[in-house]
Each structure stands twice: as structure tokens, then as C-alpha cells.
Amino acid sequence: MSSTLSLREDLRLIADWVAPDSRVLDLGCGDGALLAWLARHKSVRGYGVDLDVANVVRCVENGVNAVQGNLETGLAEFNDLRFDHVVLSQTIQAMHNTEQILLEMLRVGREAIVTFPNFGFWENRLQILQGHMPVSETIPYQWYNTPNIHWCMLGDFEALCAKNGISVLERVVMNEGRRVHLFPNLRGSLAFYRVARR
């Protein structure tokens, strides 16, 4: 039985990709659940950044080093290759400077782990055909109050990586906590990528 069972499904996969005794930067870290688990179970030295001060307070309460920061301004406070893994979970679609944050992640880290809702998921397509912007478990907002501004599908993200000389080391697509292998762009609601500079 996996020791990652106390984590959310999406965080379990990320935790599996993180090497023991590594240095991890979690961007948009929320309450620090991932970093707290990694420190406890994999002896990871972690650091979190979140825009919401309340989340930073929760991180500190959970024993996680975290600071309040706006990812849109970059990661200038971090030196090159300071981290082994830089995580951006279900946040890249809400970034104005999507390409820049991806490049910054791979400046300060040897590998980046990026997850995002897959706009190509069949339920999203069906809702669009019915005349509505998609609302689902991975896209829980209405069109008028969503923080999400850059929707993409698997091919879009992979094209962005190719344009910037970034190699896809691993890709997993999931729906409702289960991996999707057949027609992943159509049947998967959440995409996970592990990427690095070529």
C-alpha cells in the first residue's frame, strides 16, 4: 500500500516524481500539504511561494518554509539551479506570463513538474458544443469569475516546450484519479508533465 495515500490524488503523482533528499520549490503551494508530506516521508528540503497570505500562514503552521510572492514578477530571489524540482500544480493556466514562468522554473530548478486541467477533455468539449464554457471538478469556476486565462491541451503545452528547448521527460494524464492511456487528450481531465532543459 502506498504511503502517499494521505495526499490528494494529483499530489500523489507529483510526490512519486520527487526524489528523496532533494530540494523542492512549490509555486502556488497552498497550505503546504505537498511539501509537508515530502519533508516527512522523503526527507525533502522544501520551500513554498503563494500569493495568498492566509496560505503562507497555514504553511508555517504546518512546518513548511513559505513566503508570500507574486509569480508573475518572476523568481529573481532564487539563484540558478537552487532546486532539484520546481512544482507548479494547476496554476499555469492562471498565469499571464505563462512562457516566462516556465522558463524561470527551469532556471532555478533542474526539473519542473507542471500540472494543468486539460481543456481537450471530452466533457469540456461537450459543454462548449452545448453553448457554455466548461465547469467541472478540474475547472470549478464560471466564465465570469475564473482565474484561468490560458486554456491548453496536451499538444499545446508540448509545443510550448519544444519552442523553448524543453524536453518532456514524462507525461501522465488522469481522470478522477485514474491514469488514462487510450486517447489521453480526449479522455483525460488533468495533465501532468515532468520537464527539463535539453
Helix (H, G, I), strand (E, B) or coil at 53: helix
Confidence of residue 5 (pLDDT cuts 50, 70, 90): low
**Greater confidence, 144 or 107?**
107
**pLDDT tens per residue, range 158-175:** 999 999 999 999 999 999
Grid cell 492511456 is found at 181
Q: Helices 98-108 and 154-163 meet at what angle, rounded to 10?
A: 60
DSSP H or E segment with residue 169: strand 166-175
Confidence of residue 1 (pLDDT cuts 50, 70, 90): very low
The pLDDT of 75-88, averaged and rounded, is 96
Helix (H, G, I), strand (E, B) or coil at 40: helix
How high does pLDDT run on average in the chain? Answer: 93
The pLDDT of 87-115, averaged and rounded, is 95
Domain 9-197 has CATH 3.40.50.150: yes
Confidence of residue 2 (pLDDT cuts 50, 70, 90): very low
Instruction: Give residue 145's pLDDT.
Output: 85
The burial class, CB within 10 Å (0-12 / 13-18 / 19+), for 96 is: exposed
